[in-house]
Amino acid sequence: MTRRVIVVSAVFLLSMLITLPGHSQEQKNMFRSPVNFPVSLSGSFGEIRKNHFHSGIDIRTQGVQGKPVFAVADGYVARVNVSPGGFGKALYIAHPNGYTSLYGHLKSYAGATATYVRAQQYKKESFALDMELPAGLIKVKKGEIIAYSGNSGASGGPHLHFEIRETKSQEIIDPLDFGFMKSDGIEPKISWIKIYPMDENASVNRLPDALLIPVAGSKGLYHLKKHDTIILSGKIIFGIETSDNAEGGLKTGVHAIDLSIDGLRIFSQNVDRFAFSETRYINSLIDYPALIRSNHKLQRSYVAPNNKLSVYKDVKNRGIVTFSDSRKHKIQYTVKDAFGNAAVLVFWVKSNPPKSNRTASKENVPAGSQLFTYKADNHFEQPGLKFDVPKEAVYEEFNFTFRLGAPHPGCYADVYDLHNELTPLFTFCTLSIKANNLPADLTSKALIVSVGPNNRFVSRGGKYDHGWVTTQIREFGNFTITVDTSPPIIRPVNIFNNKKITKQSSILIKISDNLSGIKSYEGRLNGKWILMDYDLKSNLLTYTFDDLIRSGSNQFVLTVSDAVGNTSRYEATLIR
């Protein structure tokens, strides 16, 4: 890195830090913290995840469950959602200032909310709930304990998932914009860049392949690691892998990314708010194949034709840069976190005119493939297969490929290889496969499965009708038909028949299914339905003793069914 580049980068970084707008004092005064200890993050707003942006902040709860969770402002409980997965036990509070706060992965609710939720679960005889409450039914005050932190749902450890939404639009806004956390003073880190040729005439270092380059640096100033000037020709896009290095070494997501060439900004993105309806467009923002193959979270500075994310601004030519002269060009990335801490990467490229002006014709589709477009519905059909990809289900046009494989033992169709797992889909698509030699008594057990590594089957569901099994898929891959005739498995953890349970306060049971998945379960004690908390990640059912368990003999019955109707039953007499 030359002295000139270092000086220019330092001046630019200083100007960025000076001109960054601060959050208004009014915003900072709107809410208090949802916890009574300093906020430390294990996940940031807008962080890159497969299929979605992270929609809030994950607040560490010191590695334990049961920390008090407080209402951040006056309001009322607008919604409760209880689920084995997702946010687990979640609570939504609507505030008169036009915002809604969300608290997820809770261990339990508190006060009137706890009483209400439990009553509704027993009324509906269902652990899972998703209910909107009448305005003002359960009012809360700022600073009131509304719940206790936990690890419920699809959580990787104890923490509080916290969101702020604009009530009217339901768009999610970065909570850090409201002053929930002090600036950590640590600049983002830039780890990699990637340069991509965009057509058959483009090249990187005279080769037609994308080039991944490591980045080195510190204190907000970065350069390419052990790399000479890069030679570019034709239509090119750039990508960057970057993270925010928070206190404690934790890597979370960045807030904004700017790309300029020769001082002209050609691309900018700012993930400070978004709508749930657009979050899956993230699969077009990122280098999806790199994520699948090697877990690289490269963000492309490119907007595909059917990428409708609202996070972009000042984008020139969708981020595509044509290198056709014979000069050197300065490339600069600027990355900022939620507090305005910035990191800058500067490098130089040498432009070469493309060797040919020929472009690939969309009419020249390779043999054995079919052009799929986002502009209209796509239908693909082969003997024994029907596949419909609706309009706008893909992010840009591509040549869909198909291969036919031999059937697997125990399957009732050939294996249909639909394109590849490296191309993402935005919406669900309809897949129908014709069943071969499927016995009539097994039609209700038939389902479509994807065939993964080591011939591992994953259920994609489906319904049999007049010789065909039809389902909805949202990923390409290999698919066939099989049947699920195995009932769910029930494994008692802390009970057995005729056990004395005087010294315990709960019943713990593991449930699982080998293919189609658990659809429903029902626990009864002495003939009455009981509330059994279901944690999907651990396959654990928990019944905490209440007034339904009595002294003496108790008859416990658990019935579990899978998605195709196979059922298991467990019974035990328990002495208390």
pLDDT tens, 209-253? 999 999 999 999 999 997 788 999 999 999 999 998 766 556 678
User: Max alpha carbon distance in the chain (Å)?
Assistant: 90
The answer to which of 224-228, 487-491, 510-514 has the lowest mean pLDDT is 224-228
CB atoms inside a 10 Å sphere around CB 548: 15
Assess whether 323 and 245 both reside in one domain.
Answer: yes
Q: Is residue 15 part of a domain?
A: no
Q: Which residue has the tokens 């709860």?
A: 61
Q: Is residue 361 part of a domain?
A: no
Statement: residue 554 has pLDDT above 50: yes
How far apart (Å, rounded) are the C-alpha atoms in residues 393 and 376? 9
E strands in 246-341: 251-252, 256-261, 264-270, 273-274, 299-300, 312-313, 321-323, 328-336
**pLDDT value at position 370?**
96
The answer to which of 57-71, 114-128, 177-191, 541-555 has the lowest mean pLDDT is 177-191
pLDDT tens, 364-392? 566 668 999 999 999 999 999 999 999 99
Question: Which DSSP string corresponds to 198-214?
Answer: -STT-EETTBSS-EEEE
Q: Is residue 7 part of a domain?
A: no
Q: Is residue 414 part of a domain?
A: yes
Q: Is residue 234 part of a domain?
A: yes
Mean pLDDT, range 393-422, rounded to an integer: 96
Assess whether 74 and 169 both reside in one domain.
Answer: yes
Can you give the CATH number for the domain in which 561 is found? 2.60.40.1220
Statement: residue 398 has pLDDT above 50: yes
**pLDDT value at position 249?**
54
| Mean pLDDT over each residue of the chain, to the nearest integer | 92
Q: How many helices (H) and strands (E) does the chain have?
A: 5, 47
CA 462 to mean position of chain CA atoms:
24
pLDDT band at 19 (very low <50, low <70, confident <90, very high): very low
CA 468 to mean position of chain CA atoms:
32
Is 321 in contact with 237 (CB distance < 8 Å)? Answer: yes
pLDDT tens, 281-335? 999 999 999 999 999 999 999 999 999 999 999 999 999 999 999 999 999 999 9
Assess whether 131 and 264 both reside in one domain.
Answer: no
CA angle (141, 167, 87) in 5-degree steps = 80
Can you give the CATH number for the domain in which 78 is found? 2.70.70.10
Assess whether 382 and 477 both reside in one domain.
Answer: yes
One-letter amino acid identity for 480? Answer: T
Assess whether 473 and 428 both reside in one domain.
Answer: yes
Assess whether 380 and 275 both reside in one domain.
Answer: no
Query: What does R_g of the chain's alpha carbons equal in angstroms?
Result: 28
pLDDT tens, 38-87? 998 998 999 998 899 999 999 999 999 999 999 999 999 999 999 999 99
Assess whether 378 and 310 both reside in one domain.
Answer: no
Among 53-57, 89-93, 404-408, 453-457, the range with the most confident prediction by mean pLDDT is 89-93
Q: What are phi and psi of 454, to 5 degrees?
A: 60, 30
Statement: residue 23 has pLDDT above 90: no
CA 392 to mean position of chain CA atoms:
20
Is 109 in contact with 144 (CB distance < 8 Å)? Answer: no
Q: Which of 325, 352, 379 is the last residue of a domain?
A: 352
Q: Is residue 364 part of a domain?
A: no
pLDDT tens, 448-464? 999 999 999 999 999 99
Assess whether 384 and 310 both reside in one domain.
Answer: no
Statement: residue 419 has pLDDT above 60: yes
Statement: residue 10 has pLDDT above 60: no
Mean pLDDT, range 494-515, rounded to an integer: 97
**pLDDT value at position 226?**
79
Q: Is residue 328 part of a domain?
A: yes
Angstrom CA distances, 293 to 239, 397, 417, 479, stand at 16, 22, 18, 20
- Choose between 190 and 5: higher pLDDT: 190
Among 28, 22, 64, smallest CA distance to 181 is for 28
Can you give the CATH number for the domain in which 408 is found? 2.60.220.30
Q: Which of 454, 483, 512 is the last residue of a domain?
A: 483
pLDDT band at 358 (very low <50, low <70, confident <90, very high): low
CB atoms inside a 10 Å sphere around CB 356: 8
Counting the structural domains of the chain, the total is 4
Assess whether 394 and 512 both reside in one domain.
Answer: no
User: What domain range includes position 215?
Assistant: 184-352
pLDDT band at 111 (very low <50, low <70, confident <90, very high): very high
Assess whether 334 and 192 both reside in one domain.
Answer: yes
Can you give the CATH number for the domain in which 289 is found? 2.70.50
How far apart (Å, rounded) are the C-alpha atoms in residues 497 and 102? 42
- Please give the model's pTM, rounded to 2 decimal places: 0.90
pLDDT tens, 147-173? 999 999 999 999 999 999 999 999 999
Is 564 in contact with 447 (CB distance < 8 Å)? Answer: yes
pLDDT tens, 237-294? 999 999 987 665 566 789 999 999 999 999 999 999 999 999 999 999 999 999 999 9
Assess whether 170 and 64 both reside in one domain.
Answer: yes
Q: Is residue 13 part of a domain?
A: no
**pLDDT value at position 14?**
38
Percent of the chain residues topping a pLDDT of 70:
92
Q: Which of 483, 514, 538 is the last residue of a domain?
A: 483
Assess whether 104 and 119 both reside in one domain.
Answer: yes
